[in-house]
Structure 1
């Protein structure tokens, strides 16, 4: 097994100069792509870009939190792996030593990262991992990881070669070690750019919006301060890091949706392997049925119960019923507060 910490050794040899040139050529487009590409497209292009510098058959880029039971995955991007690869890995992830090996002792937070290369045939891997590699036709693995402490949040990249291919060389390991910290930073930058782009679109809207990125299980990865403040106002007992339970229960992988109560309106949509979640003050139309909204608007404009009833062709008792519903849903108690809430 080949293992290297980040960075070339001291002393500029021709080999080290070639390595430095490779790192430079890889990093320049990496950060440029992070500025503009959607999250999923950026991650796919990262893997395609790496293939120009390191030869591999398939690849897996993931972000997770390291736990005693193995990495708890937040996002995942594969290239040329079998469709069941990640699902099969989930069944034996507690036996996967590669992220811990690549991260080095203690995670090395703040350093450029660690990398390892190994041959599945000769490395002391647990039996479940050997079975996984055999089923997925993986013989050689090059893995890099960057771990942020104390949260143990990890970015990990594994490049695979099939049986019959040559092992990874020392140059590949050193290149991975140099690049993985930058890749972690570029992924973070790309996600922050997506949030900023969303804010730019909605800054001119009548209703201001805040945003966050969460994984499919509702764990918040990036968020505006105003987004967190709105959640705490809507659910006073909530402290994170996962989204409030009423929202988490509505999440479905790969689909969008919305949820509103008297204090907040939330909507979400897929963004790569993650979810882009938006928060804003609720509009009356989010909370009231169409007839309730029509009654409330007429009554709030100054009409009496009877005048509203005549206007809509319904009984005054029905008007009062709809108003009771509107008062409760909008959390108001008088006509003035109702009018103010409707004007928003």
Structure 2
């Protein structure tokens, strides 16, 4: 995480990973096999552990001691960069909160966010501020390699950082090249996994949605919902749903208020999907089931398909939609889509 000898990678020059390096002649076949496994994981993997498993697969090609990934927002005026959602391998749960407290003085993190799509590397902590140097030593981050990419589906930045402690080799040019290429595929597959998972229970703008574990740990967070959570729960720092909101969810709430807005909550397999409603807009008084049926119908799903997906009879779906049309004052599907904020469809 230190700024020291930070640099962006350009071309390969040395051999592969330390420990049990992949011979250079075998590097491309091994990388191709890794990408094929990533593709298979995108088709059949579970969203809750998807990124963790994807990076463990990459570890077989490029060894590292620890890893951190998630979604960040960059510095805006006096507000420093902030991590809103994260996962990790070999790091403690407090890691994100520790980094958030240091983000304004972490030159390595700032540099990665300023050079989107580039692989940034660094070794050592000699030139770091004392708090950052202590953070680096405490967590064994002597050698760092990171890529930050735009995540259009969320409106935030997606990043992955890999680390090795002192005493292990720095990340090589070849490793940086492989990492940069792998992250392009990883970002695209993760974006597809998120959108496919959200479509199982909710339809709408992914920037207004989130996916979380039953215990509130965030797996995906859209920028609009992040801002709404922060406004409704001052002091909320991300990575996990606010405790007060989680208590309402575990208490059985499925249609909640979030400040002036509504928050629809639906089961999404083993996860919870959250969808932010528009402030003061139409549809605030719809029940969660009515809203789910309306969103699906407005996006082109048939009565029968909606009934199967929601576990209802087609007659019940028709009743829900009649109520929705009356509540929103709409006459046809185009007006319904507009009223629900889906006018782009």
- TM-score (structure 2 length as normaliser): 0.57
Alignment of 1:258 onto 2:261: no
**Which residue number corresponds to residue 144 of structure 1?**
147
Alignment of 1:72 onto 2:70: no
Q: Distance in 1 between matches of 2:181 and 2:11?
A: 5
Shift in CA distance, 17/71, structure 1 to aligned 2, threshold 3 Å: farther
Q: What RMSD in Å do the two structures reach over aligned CA positions?
A: 4.4
* Residue from 104, 116, 120 that aligns with 2:120: 116
Shift in CA distance, 130/2, structure 1 to aligned 2, threshold 3 Å: closer
Q: Is the 8 A contact 2:198 2:268 kept in 1?
A: no
Q: Distance in 2 between matches of 1:147 and 1:125?
A: 27
Q: How far apart are residue 38 of structure 1 and its match?
A: 3.3
**Which residue number corresponds to residue 112 of structure 2?**
102
Q: Distance in 2 between matches of 1:152 and 1:56?
A: 29
Give the unaligned 5+ runs of structure 2: 14-22, 234-240, 278-282, 291-325, 328-345
Structure 1 residue matching 2:189: 3-state secondary structure:
helix
- Tell me which structure has the larger Cα radius of gyration: 1
**Which residue number corresponds to residue 31 of structure 2?**
23
Q: How big is each residue's C-alpha offset from its partner over 1:54-85, in whole Å with a ceiling of 9 and x where there is no partner?
A: 11111111111212444322320101113322
Q: Distance in 1 between matches of 2:186 and 2:136?
A: 25
**Which residue number corresponds to residue 273 of structure 2?**
276
* Residue from 152, 158, 162 that aligns with 1:159: 162
Structure 2 residue matching 1:23: 3-state secondary structure:
helix
- TM-score (structure 1 length as normaliser): 0.58
Alignment of 1:221 onto 2:222: yes
Q: Distance in 2 between matches of 1:269 and 1:217?
A: 15
* Residue from 40, 45, 56 that aligns with 2:48: 40
Q: Distance in 2 between matches of 1:241 and 1:75?
A: 10
Q: Is the 8 A contact 1:119 1:139 kept in 2?
A: yes
Shift in CA distance, 217/36, structure 1 to aligned 2, threshold 3 Å: closer
Q: Distance in 2 between matches of 1:246 and 1:2?
A: 38
Q: Distance in 1 between matches of 2:6 and 2:58?
A: 20
Structure 2 residue matching 1:198: 3-state secondary structure:
coil
Matched ranges for 1:315-334 at <5 A? none
Aligned length: 249
Q: How far apart are residue 35 of structure 1 and its match?
A: 2.9
